[in-house]
Structure 1
Amino acid sequence: MTILGIQESVVAPLVRALSPEELSREYGREQLAERFARAAWSTFAEPGDRDAGHLLNVLGAEASVRALTASSIDDVAPILHALADADDHELTHDDAVDAVKRWRSRVEVPAVLRSLRQAARFGARLLVPDDPEWPTGLDDLGEHRPAALWVRGDSRMLGQLERSIAIVGARAATGYGEHVTIEAASGLADRGLTIVSGAAYGIDGIAHRAALASSGATVAFLAGGVDRFYPAGHEALLTRIVERGAVVSEVPCGTAPTRWRFLQRNRLIAAASRATVVVEAGWRSGSLNTANHAATLGRPIGAVPGPVTSAASVGCHRLLRDLTAVCVTTPDEMAELVPTVADSSPSPSTDAAPPPVGIDPTGTRVRLLDALSERSGRSVERIVALSGLAADRVRAELGLLELEGIVQERPSGWLRKAAKDLAR
């Protein structure tokens, strides 16, 4: 018997090793195949891929992988045929063609097996939406919900995020921001709230440390695989979070963090938490991206005011003005943002704020530039595999970027121009 073309005797031990021991013994062929297929989708599609989420919701993981592997760039009939009996599918022929172009270059089952083996080597867990530890707040992302989560640490903590709050902010934190973050995270942890953040330098890292110092619970969402801690300077911190909390990612082990994946990681921070507080943020800070996701999901947002002369507080003041964030200055005020467990989950906002200035809403350019190097030329085929974009989209965007002087083509392939060259 095979699972997606791989012998069950190969797949079953790997999937069971990443599952709760008390449940894995009960998994039959259907459960094993579904978990393996979700791990595969986390490899095939970039985070937040709406079309992949749509297929998963309508067909299920195993059936959607089968439809994808049976399809080709020239023939998407298997996918459309699989969707034919669904009442609510919205994937058009053109959508399917574009999606298959994005995914086919990544359909490599051996790569999925490698990621499973690497996860087992690091003692990670694979969570899927039906698991009791699955953070239910992520379900509010709809078709943008991750296919699976890779977790190191206490995965049970993810099932207890009904009382959680995200604390995010600038990497280049000021002394003022550091002080406010320590007081906030420790005070909220003392009130029994789980502190959620992204483990970055600055406000994120300080929030995690303060929660740990107060013997509180904390969860860190990464933009890369949980086997390669990033930033490297926070390896000791992330190791402590694994011991006393949880480190989570939606991309498999071996995946490098990129700017696009950081932006998509922010949606998980916003969705998994019941509220988000921004302590410090510049005009185009990634923290504004997290706040924007929270606003779209209808989650409460708090912003800490700062000196009007401080560039590190401009983003917070912008949230107070443009996103109607709540002004918060103490742990008590921040805790008031978190709805009680008895409250119903807020429905997604129908009047969502636009993406912050400077963020490409489609993500095409971000993903393309992430896939380019300043030193070694890369072929279109290599860029397609790294970016997860369709080949024709890559060629078209490369042409536009070349006209703008951002990239250049050499005999060795396409290069991204260095920042010092762009400034000339």
Structure 2
Amino acid sequence: MSADDGPAGELLGRVFLTRVIEPGDDIGGRWVREFGVREVVRRLRGGGVALPGVSEVRWTGLVARARQAEPERDLEMAEGAGVRFVRPGDAEWPGQLDDLGDARPLGLWVRGRPSLRVWALRSVAVVGARACTGYGAHVAATLAAGLAERGWVVVSGGAYGVDGAAHRGALAARGATVAVLACGVDRPYPRGHAALIDRIAGQGLVVGELPPGDHPTPSRFILRNRVIAALTRGTVVVEAAHRSGSLSTARAAQRLGRFTMGMPGPVTSALSAGVHELLRGEAALVTDAAEVVELVGDMGELTPVRRGPVLPRDLLEPAVRAVLAALPGDRPATAADIALGAPTTRDEAIARLYELQALGYVERHGDGWKLTRQAVMSVRTGRGPR
């Protein structure tokens, strides 16, 4: 079967190009947009005059890759590993990836049964440091579990640290999670997460741009992050140093007009310095899943109003609270002095003082009134008198 045989040829052509053109290569994306998949494949296989925008040296390298590409074999390998290839125009293709323009993936290799398009519609990225602290791992797992419990899909990169904690948090809540890899989806990386990635594939989705068996490189990790940002409604960064790769996901989200959020950490922690820098810019500070959903969710998905505890003093009538506040904490005061401090009349102050006496807040000392010991303690502890 050749790359010119109708829809099947388009499929083989894109599979071929994933083996030849690196992820995020906007020059290759422009070729596909301007000349079409079949023509780009034909030119690369022919090895003649270079397509525009690349040097002869780079063109020679691409042609050498093209000679090694075997799209039929890649599809056979993928099928054997339970992996499918999703391309632009397919029913499962997430339309939001088109926001990447010429840097849009040529296609995605997908492992797992759910629909990527449907899951991506209600998803949030949770990313952060690989060498995270215990605090970072706890926060990421708790956040992911909270999002999963609210019906949101947690997307991350399958790496050590925050990524792994986020995936585990979602899985523990029996929720949905997607791992976007910088290698072939049939070749879990890092090796130490092979069991976790297999579990994600069984319960969720594992996604990548690279064909079966391909390996990760430092640049592929960075380029993978744009897919995480584009797939989701927003990105939350949990712990990131100033040079953390996870910050590239946040920057990509900002460029794409997605929500960018950060979970604050100790100001003394270098692993939170990058997050704090984001928060000084356009990122929103969030502390839990409810606050994330308020930003990325639909109208009406609001964070519950949060207040401090209601103290017994808060239940007093305003006039009674004013009289109570006018009493000095260390000595008795006359009703006249208290009335001046309230401010109110002497008779009104006396009436309120007797009310406070019945509630255990004040006691008489001759012609004066004084806070009870319990009332003084309530000011310090927030508890009312017993």
Q: So what's the TM-score if we normalise by structure 1?
A: 0.67
Structure 1 gaps of 5+ residues are: 6-28, 80-92, 343-424
Alpha-carbon distance in 2 for matches of 1:157, 1:217: 11
* Equivalent in the alignment of 2:93: 134
* Equivalent in the alignment of 2:25: 49
* Equivalent in the alignment of 1:331: 289
Letter in 1 for 2:44: L
* Equivalent in the alignment of 1:35: 11
- The yes-or-no answer on 1:108 pairing with 2:67 is yes
Letter in 2 for 1:258: T
> How many residues end up aligned between the 2 structures?
300
Aligned equivalent of 2:157, options 158, 180, 198: 198
TM-aligned CA deviation for residue 111 of structure 1: 3.3
* Equivalent in the alignment of 1:360: none
Distance 1:231 1:341, change over 3 A: farther
Alpha-carbon distance in 1 for matches of 2:260, 2:137: 19
- The yes-or-no answer on 1:210 pairing with 2:210 is no
TM-aligned CA deviation for residue 71 of structure 1: 4.2
Alpha-carbon distance in 2 for matches of 1:202, 1:222: 15
Alpha-carbon distance in 2 for matches of 1:48, 1:201: 23
Alpha-carbon distance in 2 for matches of 1:58, 1:331: 43
Distance 1:311 1:47, change over 3 A: same
* Equivalent in the alignment of 2:179: 220
* Equivalent in the alignment of 1:319: 278
Letter in 2 for 1:60: G
RCO higher in structure (CA 8 A, sep ≥6): 1
Alpha-carbon distance in 2 for matches of 1:160, 1:62: 31
Letter in 1 for 2:263: V
Distance 1:95 1:170, change over 3 A: same
Letter in 2 for 1:129: P
Alpha-carbon distance in 2 for matches of 1:141, 1:102: 25
Alignment of 1:235-250 (within 5 A): 235-250=194-209
Letter in 2 for 1:3: S
* Equivalent in the alignment of 2:36: 60
User: Any idea what the Cα deviations from partners look like across 1:65-86, whole Å, max 9, x if unmatched?
Assistant: 11332343xx23xx5xxxxxxx
Larger Rg: 2
Structure 2 gaps of 5+ residues are: 301-386
Letter in 2 for 1:303: G
User: Any idea what the Cα deviations from partners look like across 1:270-321, whole Å, max 9, x if unmatched?
Assistant: 1101100001111111111111111111111000111100111011001112
Letter in 1 for 2:16: A
Alpha-carbon distance in 1 for matches of 2:114, 2:221: 21
What do you get for the CA RMSD once the two structures are aligned?
A: 1.9
Alignment of 1:3-402 (within 5 A): 3-4=2-3, 29-72=5-48, 75-76=49-50, 79=51, 93-95=52-54, 97=56, 100-108=59-67, 110-321=69-280, 323-340=281-298
Q: So what's the TM-score if we normalise by structure 2?
A: 0.74
Percent of pairs with identical residues = 47
TM-aligned CA deviation for residue 211 of structure 1: 0.6
More off after superposition, 94-103 vs 283-292: 94-103
User: Any idea what the Cα deviations from partners look like across 1:352-377, whole Å, max 9, x if unmatched?
Assistant: xxxxxxxxxxxxxxxxxxxxxxxxxx
User: Any idea what the Cα deviations from partners look like across 1:109-158, whole Å, max 9, x if unmatched?
Assistant: 65333322221221100100111111222110010001111111125134
